[in-house]
Amino acid sequence: MKQDETPPQGTAGEDRLARAKPPGEDRWLSVDEIAAHLGIKRETVYPWITQKNMPAHKVGRLWKFKKDEVDEWVRTGRAGSKEQE
């Protein structure tokens, strides 16, 4: 590439990735990590999954969480609701 040339433009997918969240920002969190993020004990997470429909994904034997999903669940007030019928 010559000095006065502009670098080639990336594909639409590459452009989208360039605007995506920083590395690690959208990763799956563990039970311990989501508990620390919410400021609760690890033992509280499990009842919230079953009784309050906390957004969680079972990966093998482990529960994994997307921070954005859990934050939205808290913001919409579903974290404070009583047990689901």
The full set of domain ranges for the chain reads: 28-80
Distance, CA of 30 to CA of 5 (rounded, Å): 46
Sheet bearing 62-66, strands edge to edge: 28-29, 62-66, 57-59
CATH for 28-80 is 1.10.1660
Over range 49-73, report the average pLDDT: 97
Neighbouring CB atoms inside 10 A of 74's CB total 14
Q: Report the percentage of the chain scoring pLDDT > 90.
A: 59
How high does pLDDT run on average in the chain?
Answer: 82
Q: Please tell me the total number of residues recorded for the chain in this structure.
A: 85
Statement: residue 6 has pLDDT above 60 = no
B/e letters for 22-61, b = 16+ CB within 10 Å, e = fewer, are eeeeeeebebeebbeebeeeeeebeebeeeeebbbeeeee
Give the pLDDT band of residue 42 (cuts 50, 70, 90).
Answer: very high
Predicted TM-score (pTM) of the model is 0.67
Predicted local distance difference test score (pLDDT) of residue 85: 42
